[in-house]
Structure 1
């Protein structure tokens, strides 16, 4: 090994020209994985370090519909300093212009915030929220976000109406410390005092209000001890408790999932780069044929030859991985600076060994996986065959090398799946990539098989171009693999994004109601319906009872101990909307069990969405326990429904029989369709008459979703482009690896009388055929993958996007032609005599 290392080190001196693509592919893949891992851990560290600020306390207790009763409140105050806030949605109306919009309303007490600072811009220059919100000259103060100020053109000292109370704008919210813990917002933030909220008339029985009790634990008390004490003191109160270790679970989940996706894309780019690694090693060995043969004739063993060249590859792989790690860490630092303004707290740059070791392991395993085959084949080739430069005479590697290949592949797959938090997603992604890779390998061999059996064309350039597809050392497989995988991912992402965007922009608006109305009180319902019906061109006014509940037990097992399929986990996170009904909801189809009689008055029954029930392993007759306003209701599953969520109609995962919940305080949810000018008339009629009713315009909501989809699509496309860039690098490497053969072909053809134009036409046809085959296969595979995601996973209607397919085919052909001709241009200009003398 020492002698092999000495030979490897000497051979690498000034001999790295053939390994530039090798290094570029490894550096790009390792940098992507290391950068994503470091950035993800930095964001997580920032969230964890500022958990108290993001959550608003050491502990957050949340109740829906109701506040804490006296004994609950007394116990909470014994735990430390307490701040109580209420959050709900309400309409904000500018009194000067009569413009109005939906807002996320927060009512705070004088202890808010316990941690962090509410940054404001006010006329007096003070940032004390309590002083700004107090009643002065008969008006309470209100703080609004800048986006709300811009939307309603509201200046400081302007007046607005919220519910049944007028307010004076006293400040503009520049930053809100606990905003990230509040979840998705449908409108800009508005902050008032708790005392003012009680006078707005918005607090009604069953109103959708969330009560938060933030606690700064007293000295000597711990989070773990708090959980134990709370469970012992109030085991069935229906509290939802979070602590500062996970202040923004939504952001944490999003960061983890994006990091997982980006890591897998980086690994895909690395595997695509592995094709380039194999090409570089093969080309390097072809240039070392004479040296290898000479060493064998001088007594060097085949094992020694293998060790020398594997050590060279390993040295370069380590160097490339180290460069990739440096670039990845540097890139994550730069990215963290850009993301600092968009995250609730800036990332804390932390360089952890885990992500870096994982990226290095991926790099070294990929390099080994794709170099063993050409090295092992060269090892088995006799010296005489090497002297004769008969490439096709290379023998199949020995079984021990095949076992090593299998072990490397298995380790790579195991690392990708077992090191991820979402093993199911990682497994599906990895299996999909392996499937696409296998298909592309089979396509490569299939192209060669078909080309070998095609009838010989009478056109010399076409006949030579087809022959070049299957000649010894042909780059057909390398080109199809390098371009095919990147193009497949690109087409898949483009088609999924295009379908979702078209659904949101074109399909859903046709089905969606014009408005959703929230917090309609039971005593207002008849008047609400009459008011809506009085507006011309308003139709399809539907309304249902609406309350919130949290699933606490599944078939008698606590919800946090149940194994649930990934697609159903969201139903167990926090509160869910629930309703009751005597008849099946509109647009829902009962697919199992039967609906209860309209006059049913027995033990609680529940109807459930079929997909969620299957994800939880539930069947007809199983029990489901839901906490509604602190009361545990155990209901038997009577039937399962198939719900078409794309209709945008009022649908609930859980529908109880009317007898079980009818006595609980609740509000109502309603929808209505409106054509043309009727939208504005209906909006004005409802908001003028019912100050407590919140109105959601579906057009605005769908536009928000569309913008999010476009941003997400751009981000995913950019990341997928890493794979495409790696594919282009590999493509360039494949042509560079075949340069020696191109020169030889060009020289022989010239000797036989071919002109440069003839040779150029031959190469042009060959590259066009390769580009066309690759793009067609990538387009078909990407189309199939996108179709399965849209129709099977998302259960949406498929929309054909032929332009995307055509554009992919044209781009692939042009890129292949460009790199192919650039790689062959030098071969076309090679002089015959010097080339023949050198050979």
Structure 2
């Protein structure tokens, strides 16, 4: 290493020691941004690796074939030709515990064969997983056994079959904590299914056939050949690779929001870097001019501060990466109820290297524009008193700004994996930056033009500080405003996300839903409900059907048409439709006219949901339905917007009254139980007399959903809080760095005879104006950006929270004011000469 290089590092170190307070705040911006990005990226990588490694164990087989109805003759021929090694029929039904009379909605899985082939059925005792088939017993969900105080040796009643409980079921491939909490699994031998007498008309059942393959078997090619044949027969093929891809996409949605929040934290750090270095270098310009007078070259003076900033970036990136490695351990705990497996966290050197690189790159890049001023400082700056500094060439400025924009785009694309989102986010950031800078410049221009000459000395002096030479109005307003904008946007977005999944309850709405009620059971069940003093909230008929022909084309022909715009699910789906003369509270008429009663001579006018209309179905289109073997000609008479979030039966297709009364059907009956004991008594009586019906107690569902939402809210609030902390530290750094220029001005005022109270008022009014202007404009920009997110991305109505206006606006203003007043405490406590000596 040459002497010149050693001298540069020594000078950088000496100057850094003298400015360590300012540089520590600068480093804090880097640390928090890097910590957020590294922690989330490392967890996302671990999650994807776990899904890939455990994809077979998640499914329990290499592939399976499943059907929502009994396989057709052609589908069964394909299934048999592939020689399934295990099979299953599963359905949701009420099960009873004779020991204490308890009842519960459960998912009954009738298994035959050695499923699972990968992974295990986790039971207590462990032997129950292998002996339940031979001994003819049941495996019951662990939570269910605790809830009803059931132990191995007790019995369980499934329909008309009573089986001994052989063990506790802790886990089985394909189940998640959320799905099992709504309908806990019960496993019984396949041979008992027919005896339960629960597989009746209208029952929701699924047929599954499981297979294994050799290691060299090409599953992707096999899926391309077999899956279209099965889809034509209303069946599906799932492979362990496609299942893991779907899981990855599902958890990518969780990761996208976390990545967005992490990017906000990183962007706040970048703002902190740019604003801190801008003010820091301004203070160093005379020192640089002195260095040049003493013989230092442009390159040497530039490299001294570049080494300083780069060193801080590397240290900040390393510390941030280490913190991120520690923080990401928290995410598996937060998201455990969303994952069907335990995430094994592995630590590698890659995230630490990424953190160090990011710290170095973003610190140098965002500090480059103010750093370039060191290159163009003239030695005459020592003697000259200018209002304007020597500006860097326009080409250089454009190049640096283009590099910053490219970094923002590339990094946001890396995080969000979507060019549209990346461009939109970058454009929104630019608009916010331009708006804040424009507002600050307009205020300066307005103050100059309409300066209040008759105001008192302190008020006039505070306003003069906003447009005096080397003022920091634009820098601080942009830093304060962007920080407030990003923080408030996260807060507004959090409200949109949580409001999107809110579940409402009322004393008049149904909280018990009885499914699979056969036509000959309707009167008896309704009588049992009313004799207990409970209301019949709804009694909804359900008729199953499929689309046979649409717009004159057969559904089978459309399935094979690769140019069609209609999704396959519309052609393959078994629709559960209803008939009625009015719309419900969860529906809104978008197009056409609602038809209440069918007319005998005219075509039947049906109403479809808006999601079906997205597939090119419109008013007046002819649709022929296959209603259990009978073809029914209809036309689309209206299109409804359906709120699928409401916990009540909603339908894609609704027929008018008088159209389907004679069709084979079953019913969904709902009622409202005021308390848990009334609900339990009703369920116990109904299941004892009508074992085929399924009962959903929405009280339990509400509790489960609220628990999930609490966890989602915790994650969202955690990331919002993380960004808020980052933003506050950035604001502290930006405003605190201005201290070193304010000191000399305050000393000059004291030398000219100003009192401490006057200096305090001048400073307070200046920072109050900066804080109020920056935070107000920031919140208004956040309001506009959140409105765009709500309408364009979430497709939800936006009701802004008052928290940013009531908390962030005064809070950030007072924070800026407090930091500004703390900046001049040295001046107020010491004599002018002492302060000048210390700062010099």
Question: What is the aligned partner in structure 1 of residue 551 from structure 2?
Answer: none
Matching of residue 216 in structure 1 with residue 212 in structure 2: yes
Question: Whole-Å Cα distance in 1 between the matches of residues 105 and 454 of structure 2?
Answer: 71
Question: What is the aligned partner in structure 1 of residue 713 from structure 2?
Answer: 713
Question: Whole-Å Cα distance in 1 between the matches of residues 126 and 278 of structure 2?
Answer: 71
Contact 1:554 1:624 in 2 (8 A): no
Matching of residue 41 in structure 1 with residue 40 in structure 2: no
Displacement of 1:775 in angstroms is: 4.2
Deviations 1:326-381 (A, max 9, x none): 54445446755887797433435567999888767765664355323323445445
Matching of residue 520 in structure 1 with residue 517 in structure 2: yes
Displacement of 1:243 in angstroms is: 1.2
Matching of residue 669 in structure 1 with residue 668 in structure 2: yes
Contact 1:321 1:360 in 2 (8 A): yes
Question: Whole-Å Cα distance in 2 between the matches of residues 550 and 816 of structure 1?
Answer: 65
Secondary structure class of the residue paired with 1:726? helix
Comparing 3-12 and 82-91, the one that deviates more: 3-12
Choose from 264, 268, 271 the match for 1:268. 264
Question: What is the aligned partner in structure 1 of residue 89 from structure 2?
Answer: 86
Secondary structure class of the residue paired with 2:164? strand
Contact 1:486 1:723 in 2 (8 A): no
Deviations 1:794-821 (A, max 9, x none): 6667667546642333432443344444
1:501/1:598 CA distance change after superposition, 3 Å: same
Matching of residue 30 in structure 1 with residue 28 in structure 2: no
Secondary structure class of the residue paired with 1:591? strand
Question: Whole-Å Cα distance in 1 between the matches of residues 761 and 817 of structure 2?
Answer: 11
1:19/1:220 CA distance change after superposition, 3 Å: closer
Comparing 356-365 and 21-30, the one that deviates more: 356-365
Secondary structure class of the residue paired with 2:416? coil
TM-score (norm 1): 0.83
Question: What is the aligned partner in structure 2 of residue 545 from structure 1?
Answer: 542
Question: Whole-Å Cα distance in 2 between the matches of residues 313 and 625 of structure 1?
Answer: 71
Alignment of 1:776-815 (within 5 A): 776-783=776-783, 801-802=801-802, 805-815=805-815
Contact 1:609 1:642 in 2 (8 A): yes
Alignment of 1:723-738 (within 5 A): 723-738=723-738
Comparing 388-397 and 170-179, the one that deviates more: 388-397
Comparing 710-719 and 50-59, the one that deviates more: 710-719
1:504/1:325 CA distance change after superposition, 3 Å: closer
Choose from 395, 400, 412 the match for 1:399. 395
Contact 1:45 1:350 in 2 (8 A): no
Question: What is the aligned partner in structure 1 of residue 692 from structure 2?
Answer: 692
Matching of residue 198 in structure 1 with residue 194 in structure 2: yes
Comparing 200-209 and 155-164, the one that deviates more: 155-164
1:217/1:102 CA distance change after superposition, 3 Å: same
Question: What is the aligned partner in structure 2 of residue 127 from structure 1?
Answer: 127
1:706/1:763 CA distance change after superposition, 3 Å: farther
Contact 2:536 2:670 in 1 (8 A): no
Displacement of 1:710 in angstroms is: 2.3
1:99/1:489 CA distance change after superposition, 3 Å: farther
Secondary structure class of the residue paired with 2:15? coil
Deviations 1:130-168 (A, max 9, x none): 523666xxxx63322232223323333333433333343
Secondary structure class of the residue paired with 1:109? strand
Displacement of 1:712 in angstroms is: 1.1
Question: What is the aligned partner in structure 1 of residue 281 from structure 2?
Answer: 285
Deviations 1:374-408 (A, max 9, x none): 23445445432354464643436423421431243
Question: What is the aligned partner in structure 2 of residue 650 from structure 1?
Answer: 649
Question: What is the aligned partner in structure 2 of residue 105 from structure 1?
Answer: 108
Contact 1:515 1:671 in 2 (8 A): yes
Choose from 58, 64, 84 the match for 1:60. 64
Secondary structure class of the residue paired with 1:393? coil
Question: Whole-Å Cα distance in 2 between the matches of residues 721 and 559 of structure 1?
Answer: 51
Secondary structure class of the residue paired with 2:85? strand
1:5/1:343 CA distance change after superposition, 3 Å: farther
Question: Whole-Å Cα distance in 1 between the matches of residues 803 and 403 of structure 2?
Answer: 42
Question: Whole-Å Cα distance in 2 between the matches of residues 555 and 386 of structure 1?
Answer: 85
Displacement of 1:46 in angstroms is: 0.6
Displacement of 1:429 in angstroms is: 4.6
Displacement of 1:15 in angstroms is: 3.2
Contact 1:109 1:130 in 2 (8 A): no
Question: Whole-Å Cα distance in 1 between the matches of residues 308 and 565 of structure 2?
Answer: 48
Contact 1:65 1:206 in 2 (8 A): no
Contact 2:624 2:634 in 1 (8 A): yes
Deviations 1:216-249 (A, max 9, x none): 1256643134324424754511222221124356
Question: What is the aligned partner in structure 2 of residue 371 from structure 1?
Answer: 367
TM-score (norm 2): 0.83
Question: Whole-Å Cα distance in 2 between the matches of residues 254 and 744 of structure 1?
Answer: 57
Q: What is the number of residues matched between the two proteins?
A: 826
Choose from 160, 164, 184 the match for 1:168. 164
Matching of residue 828 in structure 1 with residue 828 in structure 2: yes
1:529/1:736 CA distance change after superposition, 3 Å: same
Contact 1:119 1:127 in 2 (8 A): no
Question: Whole-Å Cα distance in 1 between the matches of residues 265 and 631 of structure 2?
Answer: 51
Displacement of 1:409 in angstroms is: 0.4
Question: What is the aligned partner in structure 2 of residue 722 from structure 1?
Answer: 722
Contact 2:132 2:189 in 1 (8 A): no
Secondary structure class of the residue paired with 1:513? coil
Deviations 1:500-549 (A, max 9, x none): 76897785436742223322234434544454455535143141316597
Question: Whole-Å Cα distance in 2 between the matches of residues 679 and 750 of structure 1?
Answer: 78
Secondary structure class of the residue paired with 1:116? coil
1:38/1:507 CA distance change after superposition, 3 Å: closer
Comparing 578-587 and 550-559, the one that deviates more: 550-559
1:329/1:362 CA distance change after superposition, 3 Å: same
Question: Whole-Å Cα distance in 2 between the matches of residues 715 and 263 of structure 1?
Answer: 12
Displacement of 1:64 in angstroms is: 0.8
Question: Whole-Å Cα distance in 2 between the matches of residues 486 and 546 of structure 1?
Answer: 56
Question: What is the aligned partner in structure 2 of residue 344 from structure 1?
Answer: 340
Question: Whole-Å Cα distance in 2 between the matches of residues 297 and 99 of structure 1?
Answer: 91
Question: Whole-Å Cα distance in 2 between the matches of residues 44 and 662 of structure 1?
Answer: 51
Question: What is the aligned partner in structure 2 of residue 747 from structure 1?
Answer: 747
Question: Whole-Å Cα distance in 2 between the matches of residues 73 and 554 of structure 1?
Answer: 19
1:503/1:246 CA distance change after superposition, 3 Å: closer
Question: Whole-Å Cα distance in 2 between the matches of residues 49 and 511 of structure 1?
Answer: 49
Contact 1:133 1:170 in 2 (8 A): no
1:15/1:299 CA distance change after superposition, 3 Å: closer
Question: Whole-Å Cα distance in 2 between the matches of residues 573 and 9 of structure 1?
Answer: 71
Displacement of 1:257 in angstroms is: 1.9
1:687/1:521 CA distance change after superposition, 3 Å: same
Contact 1:369 1:405 in 2 (8 A): no
1:246/1:29 CA distance change after superposition, 3 Å: farther
Question: Whole-Å Cα distance in 1 between the matches of residues 801 and 286 of structure 2?
Answer: 54
Question: Whole-Å Cα distance in 2 between the matches of residues 261 and 601 of structure 1?
Answer: 54
Question: Whole-Å Cα distance in 2 between the matches of residues 176 and 746 of structure 1?
Answer: 72
1:272/1:126 CA distance change after superposition, 3 Å: closer
Question: Whole-Å Cα distance in 2 between the matches of residues 73 and 786 of structure 1?
Answer: 52
Contact 2:11 2:304 in 1 (8 A): no
Question: Whole-Å Cα distance in 2 between the matches of residues 293 and 63 of structure 1?
Answer: 80
Secondary structure class of the residue paired with 2:613? helix
1:797/1:340 CA distance change after superposition, 3 Å: closer
Secondary structure class of the residue paired with 2:537? strand
Alignment of 1:492-503 (within 5 A): 492-495=489-492
Question: Whole-Å Cα distance in 2 between the matches of residues 630 and 762 of structure 1?
Answer: 86
